Chain A
């Protein structure tokens, strides 16, 4: 069946099967940032925004996105660029494979709560696994961004 999604601000029409998963559709549409780390809705690597809410794209049927707005990191480069440099300054990107999902969920966090505490950051991002960094560098990076913003250094 044919569906239309508003992908990163552009209308995209695609032919999908009833059981096509949004994750596969997005990769087919060229969104290479969307990664898969498990098949069990447990890792957060495939996080995208569906109608502005962070969701696991591996767990959404493509047909259910019909007529809705989908954003991947490809479409949110400016918003991400505002803070990811602070994570790079920690070296916390490491292998990078979990980064797009983690960055997408951080975007969602900061939209929802522009001034989170460290504990709120950890709680909101708990569904984003990372095996390289031990997580603390990611938190420090976000903290450094928030501090810079508060101190008017951005």
Chain B
């Protein structure tokens, strides 16, 4: 595409920016009435138990308590809360309330009351007798453990993901290309390493929250902070066992998601209350609930075996992932796939064979879910660390070993469903990153005058752009009075700016200003169908739908203009402001066409298009970290983090940059500060922001982000995705730098100062 772009590629302000910055009402709690029932959930104190008896008589007598529900009151059809395209790969293993509780924090009873105080009092007065069961807390021992997390016969898997609830198995699989064992046997160097990452939290600032009411048609109206209005409608229908036509889901502004809100964590409880009582209800998760009964990253143990030549040629990779889905299987079968599919293909350039196998197990800890990176983060940490270790063994520059082995544009990636690297600037990202970062100067380990150690590390990453052959993105574009457009979408802007970048694309297609495009979404009644905003799909998949819808709308505009100008539509040219005859003999303004469309007109000036892609073109990136380690205290300061990203065409450089910076800092948090620990009784320690330490602005270091665009033919204006990939490089790059500084490889996250200091003290002779 050679045409100069006017809107795409520009760093325009986010459409909602000023309203948000000025604190205008925009979120669930701001835009729904407060005089509704307060919904609270009584949560299990035990990691695994069966409810022997539950008495709510006294609690029900508390003034202001409207209803209390227990497992005896809910539909008995199992469902999944995972927001995925039907039939969901996640097993149907949930009830709204179950007699068996499977983690400390699992729902035991739902309380609806007129006030917070009444609800709180009722929660204290519910008497539950538990038959406490042995719990599976260590995911290494989960498979074939005599204790079953889901012994029930009504458990079912809709898709063949290798699941077996009688074995605590949520998914299992293996795939390969070439003879891995033979190639490994033939390699000069071959070694195996195992990496452990924890169930870190998205920690979006707005916790889960949902408002529900019965509307004037008698339908259940749900206003929720969700990334997935359409999946939410289906899941609620399954859970409540009512027709989908009875449910209407919309989202206002979302206070951050990062995948957390791709699972129906909160919606089901107020929805059930409203459906039963007919009363409006609202549930707002506390931070503690968000931390202990949310939808965090899957804890994973990734084992990588690598085979290489002395020359540094990486010939074989064998990756096995053990993933902990927790008490329920949300996103369990799918996240694990990315730990191999988004790590192994990075070395397509030289790989002769690969194998990727996995087990996903149930345990009695909080259910995992979707978090930015979705398994890729864990796999890339492992594979990239192994490659850095290989470089060290061979005394090779880790930048060079990557240039020697990395995937190049045009290559077919056997470990990525045989999809092509149709647009890939990874090599250029690496060269540019090394230059911008100053790799040659920073890679050598240096001592500062005050005894600190400075060192650097590198990693590269890929992700996808939507789920190939599955995700559907749609857009409806309508011409209105004065010639402005309304773009209706089902994708969910959760702060990322998708409303704005899709408006930029619309403006580009319709040759108008971004201000002439109004964006509406997402609403399950009014929006065209969209899978929702997850899997890095919105720019790439929904963006393409916008392009298609605009093309169609232009034809319709010309059809109406043809009537007005009394000539064949084929003779007309649309230039954004007017439609004119190609010979310039007559023209009609867009405004007049819009006016005409509202008077005696039979051609709807609106177009709806859907798009789905058979491929999921990966964005690529390189990250380099410079750290300063205080060897005595173990304090690590990230001094400089440079990232060069190939997300295809950069639709909005400002928003892409902020996405990248935000992702990097989340990655830094996962690597250095965000810990998850469980007590022996299955209670999680990090249940608040006092304990769960996300980075503050004093932990970020200097971030330097650049883009190195490739052009993806199948994407809108050549774009791929940006949202998820950006969290993947900090762990391996920082761990690499720490190896350079300490001589130790850190294969378990997070790396707190204590480990570094004590390891170094031991090396110094156990002082």
Contacts and interface: CB of A to CB of B under 8 A. Distances in A.
Contact of B689 (A28, A43, A97, A134): A43
Given A40-B287, A133-B658, A96 B20 contact: yes
Nearest to B704: A136
A89 B654 contact: yes
Interface string B702-716: 110000000000000
Contacts of B18: 84-85, 88
Contacts of A128: 697
24 contacts: A32-B23, A38-B689, A39-B288, A42-B689, A81-B22, A87-B21, A94-B495, A94-B496, A95-B204, A95-B256, A95-B257, A95-B494, A96-B495, A131-B204, A132-B662, A133-B661, A134-B658, A134-B661, A134-B664, A134-B665, A134-B703, A136-B661, A136-B702, A139-B697
B658 A90 contact: yes
A129 interface: yes
Interface string A45-77: 100000000000000000000000000111001
B652 interface: yes
Contacts of A43: 205, 689
Contact of B658 (A35, A81, A137): A137
Given A95-B255, A95-B494, A126 B698 contact: yes
Contacts of B664: 134
Contact of B13 (A37, A40, A73, A89): A89
A91 B18 CA distance: 10
A61 B666 CA distance: 34
Contacts of B431: none
Contacts of A126: 696-698
A129 B692 CA distance: 12
B24 interface: yes
Contacts, number: 177
A73 B255 contact: no
B205 A88 contact: no
A99 B23 contact: yes
Contacts of A80: 21-23
Contacts of A33: 22-24
Interface in A106-142: 122-123, 125-139
Given A87-B17, A134-B700, 4 more contacts: A39-B688, A42-B689, A131-B204, A132-B205
Interface string B250-266: 00011111100000000
Nearest to B691: A40
Interface in B1-57: 11, 13-14, 16-27, 29-30, 34
Contact of A131 (B22, B30, B666): B666
Contact of A32 (B20, B30, B700, B703): B30
Contacts of A139: 697
A94 B206 CA distance: 12
A42 B288 CA distance: 13
Interface class of chain A by DSSP: loop
A64 to B, nearest CB: 20
A74 B22 CA distance: 8
Contact of A40 (B207, B690, B702): B690
Contacts of A96: 16-17, 19-21, 26, 253, 255, 495
Contacts of A123: 698
B662 A131 contact: yes
A125 B697 CA distance: 8
B185 to A, nearest CB: 45
A146 interface: no
A117 to B, nearest CB: 14
Given A88-B13, A95-B254, A131-B204, A74 B698 contact: no
Question: Interface centre among A77, A127, A132, A135, by most B CB within 10 Å?
Answer: A132
B203 A97 contact: no
Q: Which of B14, B23, B253, B287 has the most CB of A within 10 A?
A: B23
A97 B261 CA distance: 15
A131 to B, nearest CB: 5
A103 interface: yes
Contacts of B247: none
Interface string A12-28: 00000000000000011
B690 A132 contact: no
B563 to A, nearest CB: 42
Interface in B160-206: 202-206
A129 B662 CA distance: 12
Most chain A CB inside 10 Å of its own CB: which residue of B20, B663, B666: B20
B286 interface: yes
Contact of B205 (A45, A85, A92): A45
A15 B235 CA distance: 42
B497 interface: yes
A91 B14 contact: yes
A94 B500 CA distance: 12
A7 interface: no
A132 B287 CA distance: 17
Given A94-B495, A96-B26, A134-B703, A42 B698 contact: no
B657 interface: yes
B600 to A, nearest CB: 43
Interface in B117-160: none
Contacts of A91: 11, 13-14, 17, 497, 652, 654-655, 657-658
A93 B20 contact: yes
A113 B747 CA distance: 44
B694 interface: yes
Interface string B635-669: 00000000000000000101101101111111000
A123 B697 CA distance: 8
A73 B19 CA distance: 12
Which 9 pairs of residues, A with B, have the shortest CB-CB distance?
A: A95-B495, A33-B23, A96-B20, A97-B255, A134-B661, A88-B17, A100-B23, A73-B23, A91-B654
B24 A97 contact: no
A100 B25 CA distance: 11
